[in-house]
Chains A and B, each alone.
Chain A
Amino acid sequence: MTKRFVTTKVEVEGREETKVVELPARDPAPWGADADLHIVGQRVARMDATEKVTGEARFTADMQLPGMLYAAILRAPIARGRVTRLDLSPALELGGVRGGVSIDDVPNVKLDGVRLFDRDIHYAGQPIAAICADSLDAAERALHAISWECEHEPHVSTPEQALHQNAPKIRPAGNTARNSPRVMTRGDVEAGLREAEVTITREYRTPVALHTALEPHGAVAEWSGGFLTVWESTQGIFMTRAEVAKAFKLPLSSVRVIKNYMGGGFGAKNGAPHSTYIAVALAKKLGRPVRCILDREGEQTDAGNRPATIQRVTLGAKRDGSLTAIKLEATVTLGIGGWLAGPARIYHEMYRCANVHSTEAFVYTNTGAMASFRAPGHVEGAFGLECGMDALARELELDPLELRRRNYAKDDQDKKRAYSEKRLDECYRLGAQRFGWGHARGEERDTSGRFRRGVGMASLTWGAGGGPPAYATVRINRDGTIEVLTGAQDLGTGARTVLAQIAAEVLGAKVSDVRTVLGDTERLPFASNSWGSITTASVGPAVRVAAEEARDSLFEAAAGMLDTDANDLESKDSEIHAKSNDKCLTIGQVCEKLGDVMIIGQGSRGPNPQNTAISAFGAQFAEVEVDTETGRVRVLRIVSVHDSGRIINPTLAESQLEGGVIQGLGYALFEERVLDERLGVSLNPTMHDYKIPTIADVPKIDAFFVDGSDTAANHTGAKGLAEPPIIGTAPAIANAVAHALGVDVTEIPLTPWRVLEALTTS
């Protein structure tokens, strides 16, 4: 058949890109909401759970190769300046030390605009050199023996300092990003404000949050005969391969990147980080495998963060609550680099409003660079927008949920296109019902006691359609076991299980007969990074197509054995059954008769529908209790309801929702990188001082989905769901605190100190 290459739009983490796509050989009819499915939609146990509970799951940090050496990184203790002298030799003379690298030993790669091992220091924590030894202990001790000096120059810690006319130049091109400020506009916001009968203006602030994945960034590198193998804790094996191959001037076929298990990513592990280049360079120089895993302080200072924002929000509405204007002026603190993940988009997407105007300034400072962090931009933006909506509701004396319902956006207004499906109204209805919103909000509240309770909610949306390119191979072994092969990654999301369920569904196989193989660039067809909640919606359809192709071959082979035609066959529980004559063979029996003929199906992901926005939606409801003496906020319960199209595995999907809500709770109450502005150094680069939620902090979470299938999105009907549950959690909690105390809440995290301050200033 003639291949056809077309282009399609794919949205990843708020960025819409045009991708070339090869039309798949087949385009199956979508699985509608009432499709007769037996394995898709079932609560199949996570397929790699046994390896995880037994400790057998081998993570990058666990890799041990014969002769392997350990690397440790020397980092800058100052935020800006210059290395004036660097002599590794005292360190190299120590026992157990095998070698070291500094700027002259590594390729000229730039990460976030900073050259690896640059002598100019741009932020505290910047790598200066690395030492390699027989043990990590020896490598770390040797760092102290390096003879070096640096000179401090004035640094910039805050956006206010960066934008000051006398500020030092942080990057060669200046102190703001190239396309900053980014301005987006729809209608005429000033006219909208004139039209408004009620307006509110607030300034909201969100902190720098740290991913804090338990497994740090890291790699193990081994060279053999000019070929390089890298074990990497990464969300993108193919992106890592491309970056490493480019840096070391290798053909792509000479680099193999493997990621089987990883201890969390949350957006920060999308390409080759410093540790990878260091491991590869040291392994090359020393002719031995090298493991370079960041220590916790390195992970918390130089491995990405969610940037801080300041959001000046003005909302204008008619007395009936209908929005006439949404205006945002935002400042985003990128650190030394990163990409333009801003809070504005959700202001343009969430509510119906003719006049929306946003300005986002992206400012550099001498601190570690930002990186994508679970729903980048939208998490920050939802805080300002959704708290603003509650402030407006108070002004209008309207129920906050009612205000949101009155401003329901039926389509994607900026791009003037329809949504493939939008069931946020159903989320509002079911969420309010399960939460008991009307009752809880209407209740008379104690406003004088020490402990005060309140309820709040927030809406959310996220572009979660996924898209091409993504490829999968399904092959059936001689014993009837089935392998799904695709170069995607399972970060702990459950992708491995979900993709096996899709193949089992199509093939009529027992799901226990199916195994998914992921994360190896040498052996698997391409799939993109597992980011932007795209894996299920991108790779799932490719697996379905591959499995259909394999099933057709299997049925054709079985037809002769069962004295019938292929279209007379059906399969279930790994048995192929002829409807006309009741004859039956297992998939294994058919394949055994075929000998070493291997049934193989190939599949790819087709284009997205034209001129259509594919988004997930949801609503968060929270109840809190605030101790007005200590300022401590306790979240009592959360209801989190989502429209994510078809749910392939409800158990794993609910786990994702709970995890997102819990991270959102941390963002609302505890999480904040604290910088010593005078020194430009983080004061809390540890897990004790950077507070993530513990099991004791977690309230009752009722997380669920509205039933359905988004058949216009792709032929599995599934949309992404990993990122949505963190969006909206913090404003729902903040709105509940505001409700409990009767004060405005404008800054997170809601530490006891901030709560007490809000109480005193009100």
Chain B
Amino acid sequence: MRLIVNGASYDVVAPAHETLLVTLRERLHLTGTKLVCGRGECGACTVLLDGTSAYSCLTLTVACDGVSITTIEGVGRGDGGLHPIQAAFVEHDATQCGFCTPGQILAAIDLLGRIPDPTEADVRRGMSGNLCRCGTYPKIVRAVLAAAAPALPND
């Protein structure tokens, strides 16, 4: 089968029970997507499937034929600059150990795609599927709201 990850296509032979998380990490060596709980409880493995966030640990690779998959490695502008959400995470110190951060950023991209001008309550609700043990939550709220603000006009 052919996987399209971050715009590049990969021919992959994966057993029927293999999760997208394992394929990404162990076959494609895209290790920014993290394994934490392995059962859809924490959000560290969040990726975008055709632009919508999904837990890659609960997604079977064989179900992704023809789906456009975005991982953290595919986030950011072509010139090597950071995506506005990544930049906001840096600016607002919305990362401590950093293990949950890729998943948080993909969840935030999904959230702002659906709700470009979120309230704080929207952010808390939209990001509540992504756990962080260091407790960066207050900074994540700030970063996501800040990233939303300049994106409003014509971005």
Contact = CB atoms under 8 A, between A and B. Distances in A.
A52 B124 contact: no
Contacts of A137: 15, 17-18, 22
Contact of B135 (A49, A55, A135, A658): A658
Contact of B34 (A54, A214, A701): A214
A143 interface: no
Contacts of B140: 695
Nearest to A141: B17
Given A213-B133, A214-B100, A215-B97, A55 B138 contact: no
Contact of B73 (A55, A64, A214, A693): A55
B116 interface: no
A660 B135 contact: yes
Given A215-B36, A493-B96, 7 more contacts: A49-B93, A215-B97, A261-B98, A263-B98, A655-B139, A658-B135, A696-B125
Interface of B: 15, 17-18, 22, 25-26, 29-39, 41-42, 44, 71-73, 75-76, 82, 86, 89-91, 93, 95-102, 105, 123-125, 127-128, 130-141
Contacts of A692: 131, 133
B131 A694 contact: yes
A321 B93 CA distance: 43
A582 interface: no
A255 to B, nearest CB: 25
Interface in A393-415: none
B131 A687 contact: yes
Interface of A: 45-46, 48-59, 61-62, 64, 135-137, 211-215, 261-264, 266, 295-296, 491-494, 651-652, 655-656, 658-663, 686-688, 692-696, 698, 701
B135 A696 contact: no
A213 B135 CA distance: 11
Nearest to B126: A695
A211 B97 CA distance: 14
A655 B133 contact: no
Contacts of A211: 133
Closest 7 CB pairs of A and B: A55-B32, A492-B97, A263-B99, A52-B98, A659-B135, A662-B135, A55-B72
Given A61-B35, A64-B31, A264-B97, A54 B82 contact: yes
B128 A694 contact: yes
Nearest to A659: B135
B89 A53 contact: yes
A368 to B, nearest CB: 18
B123 to A, nearest CB: 8
Contacts of A693: 135, 137
Nearest to A725: B135
Contact of A52 (B31, B42, B101): B101
Of B29, B32, B133, B137, the most chain A CB neighbours within 10 A belong to: B133
Contacts of B39: 296, 686, 688
A686 B22 contact: no
A578 B139 CA distance: 43
Given A50-B82, A135-B26, A692-B131, A698 B137 contact: yes
A684 B14 CA distance: 32
Of B37, B99, B124, the most chain A CB neighbours within 10 A belong to: B99
Contacts of A493: 96
Contacts of B34: 59, 61, 214-215, 263
Contact of A263 (B29, B97, B124): B97
Given A61-B34, A696-B125, A214 B44 contact: yes
A264 B135 CA distance: 11
Given A56-B32, A214-B34, A687-B37, A51 B141 contact: no
Nearest to B95: A52
B20 to A, nearest CB: 14
Contacts of A652: 93
B42 A54 contact: no
Contacts of B89: 49, 53
24 contacts: A45-B91, A46-B90, A54-B72, A55-B101, A61-B34, A64-B29, A135-B26, A137-B18, A212-B133, A214-B97, A214-B131, A214-B132, A214-B133, A263-B97, A296-B36, A492-B98, A659-B135, A662-B137, A687-B41, A692-B133, A694-B128, A695-B127, A695-B137, A695-B141
A652 B123 CA distance: 22
Nearest to B99: A263
A693 B134 CA distance: 10
A524 to B, nearest CB: 20
B128 A686 contact: no
A701 B44 CA distance: 24
Nearest to B87: A53
A135 B30 CA distance: 16
Contact of B33 (A52, A55, A215, A494): A55
Contacts of A687: 36-37, 41-42, 131
B31 A58 contact: yes
Contacts of A50: 82, 86, 90
A288 B27 CA distance: 19
Contact of B99 (A53, A59, A64): A59
Contacts of A263: 34, 36, 97-100
Contacts of A660: 135
A659 B90 contact: no
B139 to A, nearest CB: 6
A661 B139 CA distance: 14
Of B34, B86, B101, the most chain A CB neighbours within 10 A belong to: B101
Contacts of B137: 658, 662, 693-695, 698
A746 to B, nearest CB: 26
Contacts of B18: 137
Contacts of B123: 695
Contacts of B41: 686-688
A66 to B, nearest CB: 12
A491 B96 CA distance: 8
Contacts of A656: 96
B99 A661 contact: no
A135 B21 CA distance: 13
A256 B134 CA distance: 28
A709 to B, nearest CB: 23
A264 B34 CA distance: 13
A52 B101 CA distance: 7
Contact of B36 (A45, A48, A214): A214
B96 A659 contact: yes
A266 B82 contact: no
A54 B141 contact: no
A42 B15 CA distance: 52
A53 B138 contact: no
A658 B133 CA distance: 11
Given A58-B31, A214-B44, A53 B90 contact: yes
Nearest to B138: A658
A686 B39 CA distance: 9
A56 B34 CA distance: 12
A55 B102 contact: yes
A65 B44 CA distance: 23
A696 B124 contact: yes
Contacts of B101: 52-53, 55
A655 B95 CA distance: 9
A64 B31 CA distance: 9
Contact of B136 (A213, A659, A688, A696): A659
A661 B136 CA distance: 11
Contacts of A688: 37, 39, 41
B134 A492 contact: yes
A64 B24 CA distance: 13
B141 A659 contact: no
